[in-house]
Amino acid sequence: MSRVLVPRRRLPTLVGGAVVLALLGACVPSAPADQTTAVDVERYQELATDPWIGADDVRVARYRFGSNGLFDDGLASTRRQVTGERLAVLTAEIAAAATVGWWVAGATCDTAGAASGGGASVELIRALADGSSAVGTMTITSRGDSATDTAPTSQTVSVVAEVPHHSHPDPVVPDRVPVDVGTLSCLGGSAGATVGQVGAFEPVRDR
Amino acid sequence: MRRTRRRSVVARGAFRGGREHRARRRALGAGVLIAAVLGLAGCSQGVSRQDAADLLGSQVWPVGPVTVDGTTDGGRFPRPSITTRTDSDATPARAAASAVDDAVAAGWIPVYARCAGPDDEVVVHVVRQLRDGAVAVATIDAADPAVLRQEGVGVGRPGEQDGPRTVVRISAVASAPEDLDDDAFIPPVLRDGGPGPGDRVDLGDCLASAAQEPGTVAPRWIGTPAVLPREGGPLPAR
């Protein structure tokens, strides 16, 4: 006869624990069947094949697993190191992005760098084939900010581009007007910490 | 006598029944055999995750341990991958060109490159078909190690000025079985029989100008990116 390994007085605790775990497991909602559709895949491929972004990582829009009905937008991101003064690098990147359809909606200085010398972010828009829009945020920071760096003209350019999940509304795209990022205060200009319009995209919305 | 005849009738019936039984068994056996052959044929066309990992690991380039990390929650799936990192005393452009030469010699096809100035980061995407529809994408990234330090990647010690001029990172990712069922996330260049002659890009202009034009900051690229993240999915609803 086999021995009972668990003392009888602990059985109710173990059974109760197992029931609680099972109930908690049942509480995690499963992903809906239409969490990702052909619309999301098309938008994914538009970001993945964008030569200006040259994404290191790309993610299709999908259900946020474990959430209560939240969906993440599609996303592509990259980071690169470029030599040059900040404004020159930004201007060159904006010109390169324009050749594949990106245009600048606005730009802003980092909170910590509102004065001249800080980092800056540029918000760009690109029309998608299905009529929606991708919104990209390009951020530039000087490697010279770090005590370990010796090349103050070396910049790190980060790009994060997002496309809406098929169940989300399209980004609110501002009127297309010329935006001169060189007038930002953090880049030596006099227009203040923000030029143009930023904030066309909210990353995650309820369904 | 009568008893014997009855026996023989029973025996004949039993013989006839045995013949039918054997025929049925033969038909059943043939059916099972055909099903097994068809099943094996179906299996031979598929590539399991382990097969894909083995195929990636058996490539001449890049050489490194294959990992399959990731979750299957919410329809996501992991793809086999290899990640390597080597030091070089060459500029990023020259170090990338050397890595691309190795890749091309091993049968990979360059489809995209992004360059800028002579000391700037260079990224090249190379692709290849593995077997039975399985494909692989590799990214060659050559950059100043200071960039990696800034990203939190352990290269040297903080403040260390001596060390390699360039670090070359290679990340190769193979398609997963799910990608064979639905190629939604496979780079377009790898669909419909794989890359054609027009998809192979000549990196000479990009890499040469990056190496020879000091002071330029203009980003330039050639070709179309081919990205295959380590984590795939979820596949679209059909």
Mean pLDDT confidence for B210-227:
78
- A25 touching chain B per CB within 8 A: no
Q: How far is residue A142's CA from residue B169's CA, in Å, rounded to a whole number?
A: 22
Q: For the ranges A70-74, A125-129, B148-152, which has the lowest average pLDDT?
A: B148-152
Q: What percent of chain A has pLDDT over 90?
A: 58
DSSP 8-state assignment for residue A67: S
Residue of A nearest to B233 (CA): A60
Q: What is the mean pLDDT of chain A?
A: 85
Q: How far is residue A186's CA from residue A88's CA, in Å, rounded to a whole number?
A: 14
**B-interface mutation test, from A60, A71, A153, A155, most B Cβ less than 10 A away:** A60
Q: What is the complex's ipTM, to 2 decimals?
A: 0.83
Q: In the numeric block, which tokens belong to residue B81?
A: 């991958």
- A144 touching chain B per CB within 8 A: no
Q: For the ranges A104-108, B153-157, B233-237, which has the lowest average pLDDT?
A: B153-157
User: B10 pLDDT exceeds 50?
Assistant: no
Within 8 A of B76 by CB-CB distance, chain A residues are 65
Question: In this complex, do A48 and B225 lie within 8 Å of one another by their Cβ atoms?
Answer: yes
Question: In this complex, do A54 and B223 lie within 8 Å of one another by their Cβ atoms?
Answer: no
| pTM, rounded to two decimals | 0.81
Nearest C-alpha neighbor of B69 from the set B167, B176, B207? B176
The residue ranges of every structural domain in chain A are 38-201
- Highest mean predicted confidence (pLDDT) among A150-159, B45-54, B121-130: B121-130
Question: In this complex, do A82 and B236 lie within 8 Å of one another by their Cβ atoms?
Answer: no
Strands (E), A1-73: 57-59, 62-63, 70-72
Question: In this complex, do B74 and A65 lie within 8 Å of one another by their Cβ atoms?
Answer: yes
Question: In this complex, do A156 and B147 lie within 8 Å of one another by their Cβ atoms?
Answer: yes
pLDDT of amino acid B31: 60
Instruction: Give the distance from residue B184's alpha carbon to the nearest chain A alpha carbon, in angstroms.
Output: 7
Question: In this complex, do A82 and B217 lie within 8 Å of one another by their Cβ atoms?
Answer: yes
Q: In the numeric block, which tokens belong to residue B215?
A: 């002071």
Residue of A nearest to B170 (CA): A56
Is B120 in a helix, a strand, or coil?
A: coil
Strands (E), chain A: 57-59, 62-63, 70-72, 74-83, 103-109, 120-127, 133-142, 154-163, 194-196, 204-206
pLDDT of amino acid A148: 45
Instruction: Give the distance from residue A68's alpha carbon to the nearest chain B alpha carbon, in angstroms.
Output: 13
Topology of domain A38-201, CATH? Protein Transport Mog1p; Chain A (3.40.1000)
Q: What is the pLDDT of residues A28-79, one digit of tens each?
A: 678 898 999 999 999 999 999 999 999 999 999 999 988 888 999 999 999 9
Is B37 in a helix, a strand, or coil?
A: helix
DSSP annotation string for A157-168: EEEEEEE--TTS
Question: In this complex, do B236 and A150 lie within 8 Å of one another by their Cβ atoms?
Answer: no
B169 — pLDDT class (breaks 50, 70, 90): very high
Q: How far is residue B150's CA from residue B153's CA, in Å, rounded to a whole number?
A: 7
**B-interface mutation test, from A49, A71, A167, most B Cβ less than 10 A away:** A49
Q: H or E stretch including A48?
A: helix A38-48
Within 8 A of B224 by CB-CB distance, chain A residues are 49, 51
Neighbours of A69 (CB within 10 A): 11
Residue of B nearest to A33 (CA): B237
Residue of B nearest to A80 (CA): B121
Instruction: Give the distance from residue A67's alpha carbon to the nearest chain B alpha carbon, in angstroms.
Output: 11
